[in-house]
Amino acid sequence: MTALAGSLVRGLAHPTAAVRRGLTIAAIAAAVLAPLLFDPASGWLDNAVVALAYVIMALGLNVVVGFAGLLDLGYVAFFALGALSVGWFMSSFYADANVHVLVAGNIGHLPGVHLNFLLVLVVAAAICALAGVVIGLPTLRLRGDYIAIVTLAFGEIIRVFAVNGRTIHLFGPNAPLTNGDQGITPLDQLQLPGLAAFTPFDLRPWYWLGLALTLLVLFVVTRLRDSRIGRAWVAIREDEVAASSMGVPLVRTKLTAYTIGGAIGGVAGAFLASYLNTVSSDQFALSFSIFVLAMVILGGIGSIRGVVLGAVLLAFVNNRLIPDVLNNVPHSLGLDFDLVSLGFGIFGFLLVIMMVLRPEGLLPDRRHRLELQETETDPATQGAVR
Amino acid sequence: MSVQNTTTSRRRLALRLPDRSAATERLSKYLLIAFLLALPAAFAISDLVHGGNLQRIGENLTQGLSNGLIWALIAVGYTLVYGIIGLINFAHGNVFMIGSLVTAGMLAALGLSTATGTLGILLGLLATLVVSMIACGALNLMIERVGYQPLREAPPLAALITSVGFFFILQNVGLLWFGSTPRSLPDLIGVEKVVFDVGGVAVHRADLFAIVTTVPVILAVAAFIGRSRLGKAMRATSQDRVAARLMGINVDVTVALAFLLGGLLAGAAGLVYALYETTVWFFQGFQAGLLGFTAAVMGGVGNLWGAVLGGLIIGCIQQISDNRIGSEWTPAIVFAYLIAIMVFRPRGLIGEATREAG
């Protein structure tokens, strides 16, 4: 049984080119057609939309952590900024302003700033790319574990600003920075050509939009990984000094990773916030950064397929398995606690188990796995200094 | 060439790359000190201008120093572990939280209340201190054994990620044990009672309690590391693990010892915090852990006295920020300090005591 599963995993990990292409097309076709099988408002579709947002976010974090090897514990900052862009530019939150760009119907008559969602996506990506540079700059000279702490600090600072945003008035007395834990809500209904209205009663347009964004991001990160910059990231991850003496510009390469990872996180944040229809500071806790990191680690750091799998699995565990399936288990065992509140303890457990038993993840990146095997078998390492 | 060897050479080289002269080093140190003094100095001046005396800033600093002693205990736990295996033990803040919860549990079990006599309270607190320290020491040992020891030769990020995992596991243990709301404890030590005042600046019993409990513990640990045979082994291991092993030092025991000491200190800090604040909460480990870590970094990670100094400074910054700016902004201010230190002087105030400081 284990051998079969092992060979299956190996077969999926090393398919031939033709098989790979066929599998990819089949997977995309299945993903596009899947929602037609479900009721338009079913819980499964709801889970799928959220899972797609997680996939995008995990792919973005994978650029920073997996490709470039810079451990980012504050990735929630980009979710926050992407979500806030939606709150700022796609709602009646700034009721004094009256800006409408490419919006139709009754949204065109509401007060506030109302931009088309695609424009907001661009704005969110731009804001987050800039934030990526700001977060990246102080970490350039630091060692791996210090980078983790500085990014964590940035994530917390942005959360504190989101929590206290109601008392910050940069653009006039009626224009606070955020709405704190009350949330900016409601957000504009999305209007995109070719898709039906985005309502809570028909989730298919949401799903297809999320799928389109996911495929776009998948395309971008795959091409990036195989490009000059992708090789430069790997070189830096493996050995910074060797990379820089081979002519890889350290500063620019690292900042590019932060910028691209941030922009992808912003897109995911904008999409998820508009789907959840609220932008509240409660969403931006440190645990969310860890949650996304867990997806990347579970799937396999640096491996695109692995990260997609990790994100889908954790979305399933978090939104379906724990609340719906397992939640009654403690009660039926006669124990009195709520399993939902243990979500992050379970993730913590997962992280520990994963690292101790299978540090390379479920579908590991080939290069990462080679490294780990080398570490295990190379006799020179046995007594090596860290 | 093995991964580990390349990592080592990279670290050593990368740290040598920004080849700064001694003058710039000294300048960065003084700039950092000036930067740290800016906040208290600004408020002291505004106190003098508006109130005519330094009473309020004096009280901020007294409370900041006594509070900072708690962060110092936590910071030493970070610094011991980092000095020896180069790992930021993320879970440490929640080991401290468990210490507070153990304290709360013990106080309830012993039935201590404000009505108990002084001798009873003293003996009860002593017993609680012992239990809390042992519980946290054992917990930290167990975490090391399960989560870090198998990863000794794995890539450096692996152990950091397990420590994040333990952070969340412990937080959930706290949540299950004590529920999601803060629980208040009996005010056994009379926190608000003024013991004496110096020039209008009141010193409360809580401040005195923190000093009386934490200072001996810190001195004991410093003496242990500085004088004892095992402490010598710890210092040797932190300088060069391979050489230490060649000299016959059992490295695994030494590493475990660092975790045990860190845990004992976290347990003591947990007790002091619980009595000082008279509330315990499963979430307190998050901020405390970050403050403790910031303190360790501020002094120079791996350096025991640096961690203590950092703890005192962080305590003052936190107290001033809580009192003057608003406690909702405190995390952002402390983290802004952390980032500034990381950017301008990653070695900290005193400097790292490890070989990597090179």
Which tens digit of pLDDT belongs to each residue from B113-126?
888 888 888 999 99
| Domain assignment present for B180 | yes
Q: Taking CB atoms and an 8 Å limit, are A384 and B153 in contact across chains?
A: yes
Provide the residue range defining the domain that includes B160.
26-48+56-344
Q: Helices B118-143 and B156-178: crossing angle, nearest 10°? A: 140
Q: What is the mean pLDDT of residues A284-296?
A: 88
Q: Taking CB atoms and an 8 Å limit, are B240 and A238 in contact across chains?
A: no
pLDDT of the residue at A384? 39
Peptide bond into B156 cis (omega under 30): no
CA of A146 vs chain B CAs: smallest distance (Å) = 8
Q: Residue A222 has which token pair?
A: 């795959």
Q: What would the pLDDT profile of B165-206 be if each residue is shown by its tens digit? A: 999 999 999 998 988 889 999 888 887 888 888 777 888 889
Is 90 exceeded by the pLDDT of residue B129? yes
Pairing of strands A98-101, A112-115: parallel
Q: Which residue has the higher pLDDT, A344 or A64?
A: A64
CA B295 – CA A324 distance, rounded (Å): 43
What distance separates the 2 farthest-apart alpha carbons in chain A?
72
pLDDT of the residue at A9? 63
Q: Taking CB atoms and an 8 Å limit, are B164 and A142 in contact across chains?
A: no
Q: Helices B156-178 and B284-299: crossing angle, nearest 10°? A: 140
Count of domains for chain A: 1
- Kind plus residue range of the DSSP H or E element containing B156: helix B156-178
pLDDT of the residue at B272? 94
CB B60 within 8 A of CB B47: no
CB B185 within 8 A of CB B281: no
Q: Taking CB atoms and an 8 Å limit, are A149 and B156 in contact across chains?
A: no
| Domain assignment present for B21 | no
Of A160, A347, A349, nearest to B332 by CB-CB distance is A160
CA A262 – CA B136 distance, rounded (Å): 38
B85 interaction partners in chain A (CB closer than 8 Å): 386
Q: How many CB atoms lie within 10 A of CB A340?
A: 11
B179 interaction partners in chain A (CB closer than 8 Å): none
Of B171, B173, B293, nearest to A149 by CB-CB distance is B293
CA A219 – CA A71 distance, rounded (Å): 23
Pairing of strands B201-204, A112-115: unpaired
Is 80 exceeded by the pLDDT of residue B149? yes
What is the sign, positive or negative, of the torsion defined by CA atoms of A15, A229, A246, A240?
negative
Q: Taking CB atoms and an 8 Å limit, are A138 and B343 in contact across chains?
A: yes
| Domain assignment present for A377 | no
| Domain assignment present for B98 | yes
| Domain assignment present for B257 | yes
Q: Taking CB atoms and an 8 Å limit, are B331 and A73 in contact across chains?
A: no
Q: Taking CB atoms and an 8 Å limit, are A356 and B8 in contact across chains?
A: no
From A67-76, A197-206, A214-223, A376-385, the region with the lowest mean pLDDT: A376-385
Q: Taking CB atoms and an 8 Å limit, are A356 and B162 in contact across chains?
A: yes
From A2-11, A285-294, B277-286, the region with the lowest mean pLDDT: A2-11
| Domain assignment present for B92 | yes
| Domain assignment present for B5 | no
pTM over 0.90: no
B153 interaction partners in chain A (CB closer than 8 Å): 375, 381-382, 384, 386
| Domain assignment present for A353 | no
pLDDT of the residue at A334? 66
Q: Which residue has the higher pLDDT, A302 or B353?
A: A302
Q: Which residue of A has its CA nearest to B243?
A: A385
Count of domains for chain B: 1
Three-class SS state of B69: helix
What is the sign, positive or negative, of the torsion defined by CA atoms of B345, B349, B352, B358?
positive
Is 50 exceeded by the pLDDT of residue B2? no
| Domain assignment present for A181 | yes
pLDDT of the residue at A4? 62
Q: What's the CA angle centered on B55, arms B51 and B59, to 5 degrees?
A: 135
Of B146, B161, B342, nearest to A351 by CB-CB distance is B161
Is 80 exceeded by the pLDDT of residue A245? yes
pLDDT of the residue at A12? 62
Specify the CATH number for the domain of residue A78. Answer: 1.10.3470
Report how many Cβ contacts below 8 Å link chain A to chain B: 179
Q: What would the pLDDT profile of A347-372 be if each residue is shown by its tens digit? A: 788 888 888 888 777 888 777 666 65
CA of A92 vs chain B CAs: smallest distance (Å) = 27
The proportion of chain A whose per-residue pLDDT surpasses 70, expressed as a percent, equals: 88
| Domain assignment present for A364 | no
What is the band of B76 on the pLDDT scale with cuts at 50, 70, 90?
A: very high
- Pick from B142, B141, B159: nearest CA to B150: B159
Q: How many CB atoms lie within 10 A of CB B183?
A: 16
B4 interaction partners in chain A (CB closer than 8 Å): 375, 381, 384-386
Is 80 exceeded by the pLDDT of residue A134? yes
B160 interaction partners in chain A (CB closer than 8 Å): 71, 144-145, 148
CB B29 within 8 A of CB B345: yes
Of A240, A345, A374, nearest to B172 by CB-CB distance is A345
Q: Taking CB atoms and an 8 Å limit, are A348 and B335 in contact across chains?
A: no
Provide the residue range defining the domain that includes A123.
38-284
Specify the CATH number for the domain of residue B134. Answer: 1.10.3470
Q: Residue B100 has which token pair?
A: 């507070």
CA of B208 vs chain A CAs: smallest distance (Å) = 32
Q: Which of B94, B145, B161 best tests the A interface by mutation, with the highest count of A CBs <10 A?
A: B161
Q: What would the pLDDT profile of B293-352 be if each residue is shown by its tens digit? A: 888 888 887 788 989 999 999 999 999 999 888 888 998 998 888 888 887 777 777 766
Of B86, B171, B173, nearest to A386 by CB-CB distance is B86
